[in-house]
Structure 1
């Protein structure tokens, strides 16, 4: 293992570096936390930085800072491991596109639909791959887990359906509740739901693992 606690060698891949899970989680959650606090403290931020007033109300200021934080997180990931997984790239691209439309047209519908588009896209890719006999999660997480074909098929199906659920959930929340509630739900609702779902997959991972999930070697 590398002496740097932030970077570790990826298992079974000589020379390849893997980010510490806690750092990875912080980089993924960071932009959402920025979005949440910027929306709640939008007026104070504009008072401190008057030039941001031209962006519009708190949600538009939060959107601009969300975009900046997303780019910063991607740059940090690249600097640390010299590679970017496909999911953060796709999500980041959608953030920039829909965030730009939100600011340009002064219409918050675009940024509110961003999670729907991203989750629907991931669902389409995963479920579409299964339709052609390709459990695509096996290509994404093959360095993290070693599963048999049935395990990858089941895990891909579950994640595909979960992304459908997240897309529908986002549509319900932003259409039926206030903007502040939607912003808070993105951070304090979606993330815990996702973590719970991930924990629920461990029995499946254990049943179909080709090798121990956790290497106990010193």
Structure 2
């Protein structure tokens, strides 16, 4: 089923709103310890407990409005529920901090597996949005595979060696900026291998 078009601002709020709310909530509660059901939880765990159902809800709303979710969106919300849930259940923030590592390893692994088969799974997911020649898809897929693996490694280094504050800033702004910068630097591929609409007719 084709994806239904919705207001771009509404779509942005549904996709990025939970992340920004997590950031704001963390800033407000990071120095607090709350006792819930006789157990003490620091602010990070409390905010994580709120973030998990929030992102599940906004993803559900996005699906209801558009009738479509990408495989990346589905994988992301599943991993958020799993690792966020483990962090809350075990009262251990390490699981939630590992979540970006698992997401990027999953994406990089899937793309890498496709490359070993001589295929671009990225083309399968994004062909309608970015019409490219096959060679362009293969180049972009190789680069994105390396990029995802690098982000997974970087996330591990940050959360294991830096403060929670540093990791939250990195997760909220650093990863988003890195993905944006990556695609901005791939202009040469889109220029060289892009397919014009009249060529497809």
Q: TM above 0.5, one fold?
A: yes
Residue 185 (structure 1) aligned to one of 164, 167, 170? 170
Contact 1:147 1:209 in 2 (8 A): yes
d(CA) in 1 for partners of 2:71, 2:107: 10
Structure 1 residue runs of 5 or longer lacking an equivalent are 1-12, 213-218
How far 1:29 sits from its partner (Å)?
A: 2.1
The residue that corresponds to 2:84 in the other structure is 99
The residue that corresponds to 2:192 in the other structure is 207
Contact 1:30 1:69 in 2 (8 A): no
The residue that corresponds to 1:27 in the other structure is 14
The residue that corresponds to 1:4 in the other structure is none
How far 1:124 sits from its partner (Å)?
A: 0.4
> For the aligned residues, what is the CA RMSD?
2.4
How far 1:16 sits from its partner (Å)?
A: 4.2
Contact 1:34 1:65 in 2 (8 A): no
The residue that corresponds to 2:118 in the other structure is 133
Residue 51 (structure 2) aligned to one of 61, 66, 72? 66
Aligned residues: 197
How far 1:151 sits from its partner (Å)?
A: 0.6
Query: So what's the TM-score if we normalise by structure 2?
Result: 0.88
Contact 2:31 2:42 in 1 (8 A): no
The residue that corresponds to 2:4 in the other structure is 17
How far 1:54 sits from its partner (Å)?
A: 5.2
Secondary structure of the residue aligned to 1:41 is: helix
The residue that corresponds to 2:181 in the other structure is 196
Query: So what's the TM-score if we normalise by structure 1?
Result: 0.82
Change (3 A) 1:171 1:99: same
d(CA) in 2 for partners of 1:75, 1:155: 30
How far 1:192 sits from its partner (Å)?
A: 1.0
Which piece of structure 1 moves more, 15-24 or 69-78? 15-24
| Aligned pairs (5 A) from 1:152-191 | 152-191=137-176
The residue that corresponds to 1:145 in the other structure is 130
d(CA) in 2 for partners of 1:44, 1:184: 16
Secondary structure of the residue aligned to 1:118 is: helix
Structure 2 residue runs of 5 or longer lacking an equivalent are none
